[in-house]
Amino acid sequence: MDPDELLARQLQEKELRAQAQQPSMSDEETRKAEMLKHLEDALNKVKQAEDAESQALALSLMPLDDMRAAAHLMVALNPGPGPGTLACDDYLIRELATWFKTRFFSWVDAPPCGFCGANNPRGGAHMGTPTPEERSHGAGRVEVYTCSVCDQQTRFPRFNSQRKLLESRRGRCGEWANAFLLCCRAAGLDARYVYDVTDHVWVEYWSGAMGRWVHADPCEVAVDKPLLYEVGWGKALSYVVA
């Protein structure tokens, strides 16, 4: 092999190695499309939470007067002014998160059998096709579980409609944050939806007393603990969008 041919082959091999180390344009476009879809979904949840009828429905289910009374009492018991002094909203969000987890919403790993009530599905879930009614409530996917006792199937639609979630009152972190955002807005809190690309969501509210957005996760009844995921869970975060 002459020197020119050898050099040409070496350059070609180098170029091929460089191409192999780079994601293809199709992969990049796929990731971009997925990210845009997640952001559009998050924006849709924010818009839902501003709907006056949805807020009215949430208010009809919330013991807001009791929660506000408890928040005002905490302000009276912790008078300011001074560094770290909290306002009514800062106590109200804590009351709201506690009520939401302990009295309103339920966590679902696998739903109980819809026929015999057993909590013992056989194997994991398989994905079903949403019915027209399930789609009307924003369910883009449905988990289907088979009961190990009666062999019947139970569907678990992953609803995105906040009104429907006020009815079903169950789900995982996505459903929790979605419904909690609506409750926060209905209670008059300046709240926003926070999307973590590594598969978690929560809410932040604006604290006038602290002059910043404050983390609030109803799943953990955690308020102002933004390092909960990285330090507490050992979770490696990448992109977080509010």
Residues designated catalytic: 173, 200, 217
Return the beta strands (E) in the chain as ranges. 106-107, 126-128, 142-146, 153-157, 170-171, 191-196, 200-207, 212-217, 222-223, 240-241
The residue type found at 42 is: A
First-to-last C-alpha distance (Å) of the chain: 60
Rg (CA), the chain: 24
Q: What is the dihedral of CA 13, 18, 23, 28, to 10 degrees?
A: -120
Q: Which residues contact 185 (CB under 8 A, 6 or more apart)?
A: 49, 50, 55, 191
Neighbours of 67 (CB within 10 A): 19
| CB neighbourhood size of 183 (10 A) | 27
